[in-house]
Copies of this chain bind each other. A is one copy, B any other.
């Protein structure tokens, strides 16, 4: 059998015009909803709040890799990455859910193939 052409898809998404980015419980729930929408298996979730009015950093460790979010509430901006390996996943569904939960007005995204069968410098 030929080698699989790549291991996974890594989406980087910059979300603009978001709301409640200093609300740590809101971000935690948004991450959990995104994992579910991705069809991924959650191993662990870590979240850190940079003070009551500050941003939030969160990472969901997945059997399929990870989803991370870093928020700048003062800019209504969140930097997200969704890295999913394996055949069964839904990158677009995950992004849609996260955009909805965060109230994003605009998303700038790119998807990069990762893995032993491809060169990310291509």
Contact B65 A70 (CB under 8 A): yes
Whether A115 touches B70, Cβ cut-off 8 Å, given contacts A48-B43, A79-B8, A120-B109, is: no
Contact A116 B44 (CB under 8 A): no
Taking the closest CB of chain B, its distance from the CB of A49, in whole angstroms, is 10
**Using a Cβ–Cβ cut-off of 8 Å, how many residues does chain A contribute to the interface with B?**
39
Q: Which residues of A contact B (CB under 8 A)?
A: 7-8, 10, 12-14, 16, 43-44, 46, 48, 50, 57, 59, 61-63, 65-66, 68, 70, 72, 75, 77, 79, 81, 83, 85, 108-110, 112, 114-116, 118-121
30 pairs across A/B with beta carbons < 8 Å? A7-B79, A8-B79, A10-B79, A10-B81, A12-B112, A12-B120, A13-B120, A14-B115, A14-B116, A14-B120, A16-B116, A43-B57, A44-B46, A57-B61, A57-B62, A57-B65, A59-B59, A59-B61, A59-B66, A59-B68, A65-B68, A65-B79, A68-B83, A75-B116, A77-B115, A77-B116, A81-B81, A81-B83, A109-B121, A110-B121
